[in-house]
Structures are given as C-alpha cells and as structure tokens.
Amino acid sequence: MTVTTDNIERIIDWEKARTAPPSNYPALPEIPGGRYTRDDFYQLEQQHVWKKSWLCAGREEGLREAGEYRLFTKAGPPILLIRGKDGELRAFYNTCRHRGAPVVRDDAGQTNLLRCQYHSWSYGLDGRLIGVPDERDFACLNKADRGLIEIRCETWAGMVFINQDRDAMPLLDYLGPLVGELACVEMDKLRVINEKSYIFNCNWKAAADAFLEVYHVNTIHPTNAGIMLDSKAAAMGLMRNGHSRMATRKNMNQGLNFIEQEGAPDNKAMPDFYRTNNVAYGIFPNFISPVEPTGIPILLFWPRGLRQTEMQAIYIGLDWGEGERPAFWDWFLPLFDQVLEEDLMNLEPVQASLDSGAFTGMMINYQERRIYWLHEEIDRRIGPAHLPDGLAVAQLLSDYIEDPLEEAAE
Ligand code: FES
Ligand SMILES: [Fe+2]
C-alpha cells in the first residue's frame, strides 16, 4: 500500500465505522509491569536504547554561525554541540583530554577557540587539540591523538540529532519514510516560539505511552482535546525502526480546532489533510510531535531515573518576521499547557499504582498498538539474549508496518 493522505483518510473512515478490530490483527499480550518498575530493565534501556539511538538535541537556532555552541545534557554525559569554521556542526563529549575538566562551562555561546579553564589546553572548533602549555613536560604526548572525543551529529529539518553509537546508520536512513512525508511541513523554515520543561515522577515510558494514543482524551481532557478530536476516527501507522503516526480526525466548528482560530498562522505548504486531522508522529525512542499548520509542539521525553522523567516541549511555528508575536500563541500556549498538565497530573498516580505490587501487566487494545510497537522496538534493541525472564514482549507487529520504501521501488 502506498501511503498517501488519501488512503489515510480512507483508513480513518474505516476505523470510525468498524465494530471490532480487523480479524487478521493479533490480540496483543500484556506488557509486563516490570518494564516500568525494575532497575535492571532501566539499565538495559540505558545501555541499548539511549546510548545507541538518534536523539533530538534541539533546534539548529543558535548553532548556525561558526563558533556558536550549546551544551546538551539531557542524554546523560554533557555533550558540546558546535559549528565549525568549515560550516560543519559537530558534537563532542564536553570533557578535556588532559584531566577531564569540562571544556565549556556556559550553556551556550560563541567562540573562536575551545580553551579548558583548568590548565588552558585549547582545541579548535573541529575538536583538534592545538595548544598545550608547557608541552615539553609531557613525555609522550601526541596532540593528534588527544582531540575531543567526537560523537555522531546530523541534522534534519532544522533539528539537531546526536547518537553515541559510532556505528549507527545515518540519521536520514533511520527516519526513513518520515523524511519525505514531513517535507511538506518545511520545519527548517519554522522558528522556535517557546520552550518549556516539565519534570514528574514516573517512568519515561508511562509518560510517552500517554502521547501515543487518543483513547484517553475523553476522560483526561474532556474540556479540550476530547472536544477537538474524534477519538474513534483515528488511523495508526507503524513504521520501521519503531517510528509511528497517528492521524485523528478533528471535530470542526467546536471552537478548539487551532486552525479555525481567528488570525491563526497557517503553514500553506502543508496539505489540507493536516487541517482536518491532527497528525502526530513518533520518532523512536522519545520524540512525539502533533504536526499542525498553525505550529508544532515537539515533545521529548528524557529519563532522569527509573521513576523520573523530564518532558521538554519545544514549540516551532511560522516566522512572522519583525513585529509582535501573533496573538494566536497567547491563546494556544496556555491551552496546550493545560492539556499537558492534565496528562502529567495523571502520571504520578499511575506510577505509584504500577509500583504497588498488585499490577501484573498492561492490556493494550488495537487502537493503542503504537505503545506496543514502542515496546517491541525497545526489545529489538536490547536483544533477546539480554532480556530478563518474563519481561520481554512478543514480537507481533512487524508484519503490519507500512512499507512505502518497497512501494517506491515498484
Ligand atoms: S583538565 Fe583541561 S587543561 Fe587540564
Ligand atoms: Fe493526553
């Protein structure tokens, strides 16, 4: 099946009308509760998922000119992002190769030279070690071997991604069909409108799960998303590498569809499909974004421990040039904040319940299958040999992924 907005619309119609899941769809087994509560599983995720995945380190804004740098600390070790004089954006561990002091101590800035404040070893913007005071005192120093340790850094659509796995596939290959599908959004032309972080006490997956389905919107969000979205008219698409899409038809004329607000920004590059449907994308493991012509929240879920998560919300939208920010954002940002707060208020009690000892596993319905897909991908990364007894999920959904790559080859 070639994935087009037309056939997603047809799937949405079909989903709305159905009385049961498709007969060929597997009933999904429980997701074992220990995946949310056990430290050994958390450590496996750290090792096999977080240290080996492409992770969004924010937007390219502030990193476009030579020497502009920013520290990125959400993925564990502090990582220095810096634009070279050659125009390349690079990422390094922010650790001096002399005795390990942080090379950069400000969160962001612009510089000609990276000079460690401890003993003034200095590095070029490309990470090469170029200056060592009293070099004669180091008996066997080869400066060529003591550059900053570089990690993979690639960009897509105005966003910076890093990966601590040197052998990872290129970012664009990893994103696969999402690159073509989201080209119409022209995200690289959008600007950052606002950024906010929320820290709350639950496992990162309990948080991400809540943004991978619309089954909860009528109960958790009865005054906003529950009104805006027709939760039964939702089409889920599963993609390679754990990515996914959820297109949910919007109820029009309810006063809450963003695009219907007077003076709402409208990204004309995007087809009408995105005006009548809320289309949320999930990029494995932690990037979840409902894409709207009015603007885009990028939600990033960062584990801070087994039971604590930071959700970073970066809002991007059309650049209005000089002058005042469109009033739309004064309406939208508090509304979206309320939706997020409703989700987050629910999550600490969920975690406490998962931890109670009474919980055995999550029962996932057909409409919630993006959650199961996330868990399947986690297990593929960890690998069957490492998964503790009783914590694996069965691999069941690979036959149901969309495959536009093969279609394109036909
Ligand atoms: S630790 Fe950086 S120069 Fe000594
Ligand atoms: Fe929600």
3-state secondary structure of 56: strand
Task: For residue 266, report the distance from its CA to the centre of ligand 2, in Å.
Answer: 24
CA atoms within 13 A on the CB side of 177: 23
CA 310 to chain centre: 12
Task: For residue 281, report the distance from its CA to the centre of ligand 2, in Å.
Answer: 14
- Between the alpha carbon of residue 157 and those of residues 59, 72, 116, 182, 186, the distances in Å are 9, 19, 32, 9, 7
3-state secondary structure of 120: coil
Q: Which two three-digit tokens encode residue 305?
A: 């421990």
Q: Best mutation site among 97, 98, 132 for ligand 1, i.e. most ligand atoms within 8 A of its Cβ?
A: 98
Q: Which residues, 6+ apart, have CB-to-CB distance to 393 below 8 Å?
A: 29, 31, 32, 35, 372, 375, 376, 379
Give the number of the atom of ligand 1 that is nearest the alpha carbon of residue 119: 3
DSSP bridge partners of 378: none
- Which protein residue has the closest C-alpha to ligand 1 atom 3? 119
How big is the CA angle at 395 (ends 392 and 399), to the nearest 5 degrees? Answer: 165
Pinpoint the residues of the chain covered by CATH 2.102.10.10: 55-156
Q: Label residues 274-294 b or e (16+ Cβ within 10 Å = b).
A: bbbbbbbbbbbbbbbbbbbbb
Dihedral angle sign, alpha carbons of residues 358, 364, 368, 373: positive
> How high is the pLDDT of residue 254?
84
- Which protein residue has the closest C-alpha to ligand 1 atom 4? 119
Fold of 55-156: Rieske Iron-sulfur Protein (2.102.10)
Whole-angstrom distance, CA of residue 1 vs CA of residue 9: 14
> How high is the pLDDT of residue 403?
65
What ligand is nearest to the CA atom of residue 100?
1
Pocket of ligand 1 (CB under 6 A): 96, 98-101, 116, 118-121
What CATH superfamily is the domain 5-53+184-409? Naphthalene 1,2-dioxygenase Alpha Subunit; Chain A, domain 1 (3.90.380.10)
What ligand is nearest to the CA atom of residue 342?
2
> How high is the pLDDT of residue 138?
96
What ligand is nearest to the CA atom of residue 280?
2
- Between the alpha carbon of residue 340 and those of residues 237, 290, 343, the distances in Å are 23, 13, 5
Task: For residue 158, report the distance from its CA to the centre of ligand 2, in Å.
Answer: 26
Task: For residue 217, report the distance from its CA to the centre of ligand 2, in Å.
Answer: 6
Residues with CB in 5 Å of ion ligand 2 = 343
Task: For residue 297, report the distance from its CA to the centre of ligand 2, in Å.
Answer: 13
Pinpoint the residues of the chain covered by CATH 3.90.380.10: 5-53+184-409
Per-residue pLDDT of the chain (410 residues; tens, 9 = 90+): 457 889 999 999 999 999 999 998 999 999 999 999 999 999 999 999 999 999 999 999 999 999 999 999 999 999 999 999 999 999 999 999 999 999 999 999 999 999 999 999 999 999 999 999 999 999 999 999 999 999 999 999 999 999 999 999 999 999 999 999 999 999 999 999 999 999 999 999 999 999 999 999 999 999 999 999 999 999 999 999 999 999 999 998 888 889 999 999 999 999 999 999 999 999 999 999 999 999 999 999 999 999 999 999 999 999 999 999 999 999 999 999 999 999 999 999 999 999 998 998 999 999 999 999 999 999 999 999 999 999 999 999 999 999 654 444 33
Task: For residue 46, report the distance from its CA to the centre of ligand 1, in Å.
Answer: 29
